[in-house]
Amino acid sequence: MLQHSSIDFLAIANRIISGGNITRNEAKQLLLVQGGELYDLFYAANKVLKHFHGNKVTFCSILPPPFGNCSEDCKFCAQSAHYDADVNAYPMMDGDDVEKACASTRGNGASAFGMVNSVRGPNKKEWRKIMEAIDSMKKVDGITHCATLGSLNESQARDLKAAGIRRSNHNLETSKEFYPKVVTTHSWQDRVDTVKSVQKVGLEACCGCIFGMGESVDDRVSLGFSLKELNPYVVLLNFLHPIAGTPLENEPKLKPMEILKIIAVMRLILPKQDLKVAGGRGNNLRDLQSWIFYVGGTSGLISNYFSTYGRANQEDLQMIKDLELEWQDDRVGDLDEWIPASENSPQSNEWLTPATSRAELLTLGLHDIGNS
């Protein structure tokens, strides 16, 4: 059995700050820490966070132009056609709605906006519609344009870059070893290949995972170091919120302190990455949400229409203000003078369609941003 009392948390943090790395064995030891030593771990992770990222945080928002009827059997996902989750599927939204959603996102504190496709990978017919949606999205200046489209080849990745997409998301989900217990319709290597294709053409890669699917501590270590090897620009950390009708509906939720521990260790493994705490944040962390920005998180999700069903945008922006952190504007384009909307600012949802309003399922079933 590993002995935790021998861990020198600050020595590990200082080594990372000096350009060194945490070892796999150290990462496993830290993931087994409990009780009062958790706060020593949190402090060490915070030192690394502050050294590499200072007080800056960002927010992004996502939109599922099509939703549901996915051919893949990802056990965590309510969008899979293999399961009996209570999902009302709908097809690709038209360009006007995508444009309005992107503009609304910019006006509510997000520096990036991403389209999420609910398929394994786009076919030729879908690709044309995706390009049309990207054209609509690009009409909104002053925000980073992103895409989560499932498996992509190098040619498709080049098309995205040429169309003006800056960042593409595709997640590993879990460790290579545990993956076959979660997904059988495609391989873990398929996901790695997509991330490498995105990076090869010069797009920023966003790549992450879901914790709480029954994986072991060894799986979490393996996943963390696989992400380190891939070296994506953004690492997405999702935490399972089990959904009725999916195979993981009875999986126990991770406790808040366990989630914070995972974020802290991921910060030590990935000191320079933007760690985005995304799916499951509100449902699992509850009153401890602000701690994510102490233990290693640098960004999160925000929107104006998803918040109808969860935490309001203004609460997140107020949280950043209360923590005396700095909202970082990393958007692109010719910006006019702008600040995130305050709680007294008018926020119109009049562009919402009945189909769009069903995007509430993202706060329930799409724990992984880009589950395809």
Give the pLDDT mean for 198-223. Answer: 97
Reported confidence tier of residue 7, pLDDT bands at 50, 70, 90: very high
pLDDT computed for residue 303 by the predictor: 62
> How do residues 201-211 score in pLDDT, each as one tens digit?
999 999 999 99
At 297 the pLDDT is 97
Lowest mean pLDDT, pick from 78-82, 100-104, 164-168, 346-350: 346-350
Rounded to the nearest integer, the mean pLDDT of the chain is 83
Domain ranges within the chain, ordered by starting residue: 9-333+343-363
101-105, 217-221, 222-226 — which is least confidently predicted? 101-105
Residue-level pLDDT at 348: 34
- The predicted pLDDT at position 69 comes to 67
Residue with tokens 């699992």: 284
Among the ranges 26-30, 97-101, 242-246, 360-364, which has the highest mean pLDDT value?
26-30
Give the contacts of 98 (CB within 8 A, at least 6 positions apart).
Answer: 63, 65, 115, 133, 136, 137
- Residue recorded with tokens 């009409």: 139
Q: Is the Cβ–Cβ distance between 10 and 47 less than 8 Å? A: yes
Residues 215-242 have a mean pLDDT of 96
* pLDDT number for residue 57: 93
Residue that the structure tokens 């498996």 belong to: 151
Read off the pLDDT band of 351 (50, 70, 90).
very low
Question: Which pLDDT score is estimated for 78?
Answer: 77
Maximum C-alpha span of the chain: 59
Q: Which CATH topology does 9-333+343-363 take? A: TIM Barrel (3.20.20)
Encode pLDDT of 355-370 as tens digits.
333 333 333 333 333 3
The rounded distance, in Å, linking the Cα atoms of 314 and 80 is 32
Matching residue, tokens 């991330």: 195
Q: How far apart are CA 362 and CA 306, in angstroms?
A: 8
Nearest by Cα to 371 from 38, 62, 109: 62
Least confident span in 117-121, 150-154, 278-282, 319-323: 117-121
Confidence of residue 182 (pLDDT cuts 50, 70, 90): very high
Query: Bigger pLDDT: 130 or 68?
Result: 130
Cα-based distances in Å from 252 to 60, 123, 215, 248, 358:
28, 36, 12, 9, 26
Contacts for 26 with CB less than 8 Å, ≥ 6 apart: 7, 12
pLDDT at site 68: 63
* Residue 90 confidence class, pLDDT cut points 50, 70, 90: low
Which residues fall within 8 angstroms of residue 62, CB to CB, at 6 or more apart? 113, 114, 115, 116, 148, 301, 303, 362, 369
Query: Residues 50-76: pLDDT tens digits?
Result: 999 999 999 888 887 656 667 787 888
Return phi, psi of residue 62, to 5°: -130, 155
* Local confidence band at 110 (pLDDT 50, 70, 90 cut-offs): confident
